[in-house]
Structure 1
């Protein structure tokens, strides 16, 4: 290879390296600040609940991303209301621009406590989610009206090194209890991949609720066996919900079985001035 060819090769390698560096920096910037990558639409941050994981939002995410919304599905630690809320709050601080904060089930308790004065959070969306008042617990709220059958479906608690206990739903009872309107095969996958919640989280008192100062929207299934529909209706009314949707025949995982309706409500929250 002559000297001229070697110089050209080196030059091309340098150009390629610089181009790759630009691509990497741009990609990392989009991850850390999704709103900058997709225009002026608010970033939708979704927080899953107990016995679920971030993939439970996949159907909703697909629809929102198609519409051009920047999205982040946070992996909820499920270790306690305050600690989980602090974790989500820290994630929110790295997002520039307006935010729509969405919580499912126990994730509703988390988003209620995660705003912490963050002025970027413009809307809260409760998807079959708890919306507690100061001092209320998830356990007390779920039992406010009859209809929850979660207790008998729980597996024997798993002891933790710190003395706490992790809770799961028995796989054989998961479909009927948690996701009755989801296909059997999908429900089995959900049962196998469910993430446990520490038992004490259900009895931890909530702090000052964000829904008193931030507009809220609610959607839930009429056949929710974890949190009775009457409880959802009570919480939505108390929070002066901008829009409340009770999905006929839907289970606790309304975001999976009725992703269209959930995504549409999130869009309403995102576009309401």
Structure 2
């Protein structure tokens, strides 16, 4: 197989720089990795955006999604011959008709709803952000406070429609491609029980649970996340 390119997709309340540590670790191993912007407007439109980024690579791709980005990569991979595998980093892996909000609430433990603040868009929908004062504890409690405060200030708002849009494809990509999962046991956005459920349902080839890691597992533990990505590349090569 031609050398794989890793395409990383951030989730809600994050942005592409959240992958910096992972990209650095992959580049140190000679792996080409790019982080593509995720507009956070809706699963269908965001997946179209990622699909175009994948097509622009011009070769085989390993898609990596964080949080809501997992719902986006799950959809973007459908019908794409270029996508050879999926890695879910503290991420949703929805089935047809499921929503990110529904999966968040499937198991108890998420405190995200208490920290989200709406910004009306004028069309009946809202942009959502995590309260900047609450962001460090809610989103990345195991990240240095100074870095967590910067992440709070640079977070990208997600449209509420995106989190409530049912997963479109009748056959999600994790049913047709190999997948790998990594997440933290102390995730306050998506309960660890929910992440375990999705990993088991998808038939994850390897699941890594990082003890004490937050929702921002790729920021606090970039070496662990990069290590799993490298294992996925080895499997696919």
Residue matched to 1:187: 148
SS in 2 for 1:124: strand
Give the equivalent residue in structure 2 for 1:196. Answer: 157
Matched residue SS, 1:97: coil
Whether 1:205 and 2:166 are equivalent positions in the alignment is yes
TM-score after normalising by structure 1 = 0.84
**CA–CA distance in 1 between the matches of 2:123 and 2:51?**
25
> Do structure 1's residue 54 and structure 2's residue 16 form an aligned pair?
yes
SS at match of 1:172: coil
Counterpart of 1:91 in structure 2 is: 53
Does the aligned pair in 2 maintain the 1:48–1:107 contact within 8 Å?
Answer: yes
* Residue 60 of structure 1, CA deviation: 0.1
Q: Give the one of 111, 126, 135 matched to 2:73.
A: 111
Deviation at 1:104, TM superposition (A): 0.1
Structure with higher helix content = 1
SS in 1 for 2:133: helix
Deviation at 1:123, TM superposition (A): 0.9
Q: Does 1:230 align with 2:169?
A: no
Q: Are 1:257 and 2:220 an aligned pair?
A: yes
Residues 144-171 of structure 1, C-alpha deviation per residue, up to 9 Å, x if partnerless? 110000001112x111133321000001
Q: RMSD value over aligned CA atoms?
A: 1.1
The 2-side partners of 1:137 and 1:85 are apart by 14
SS at match of 1:272: helix
Q: How many residues align?
A: 234
Structure 1 residues not aligned, in runs of 5+: 1-38
> Contact (CA 8 Å) 1:44, 1:71: kept in 2 or not?
yes
* 4+ residue runs over 3 A deviation: none
Distance in structure 1 (CA, Å) of the matches to 2:122 and 2:27: 40
Bigger Rg, structure 1 or 2? 1
In the superposition, the TM-score normalised over structure 2's length comes to 0.96
Q: How does 1:10-89 map to 2 (within 5 A)?
A: 40-89=2-51
Q: Distance in 1 between matches of 2:153 and 2:140?
A: 13
Note the alpha carbon deviations across 1:160-219, whole angstroms, 9 max, x for none: 133321000001100110000001000000000000000111110002310000100000
User: What is the match of residue 242 of structure 1?
Assistant: 205
- Higher RCO, 1 vs 2 (CA within 8 Å, ≥6 residues apart): 2
> Which residue, 120, 128, 141 being the options, matches 1:159?
120
Deviation digits for residues 99-139 of structure 1 (CA, Å, limit 9, x no counterpart): 10000000000000001311121110000000000000001
Ranges in structure 2 where 5+ consecutive residues have no aligned partner: none
CA contact 1:89–1:116 (8 Å) conserved in 2: no
- The structure whose residues are more often strand, as a share, is 2
Structure 2 partner of 1:121: 83
Instruction: Find the partner of 1:270 among 230, 233, 236.
Output: 233
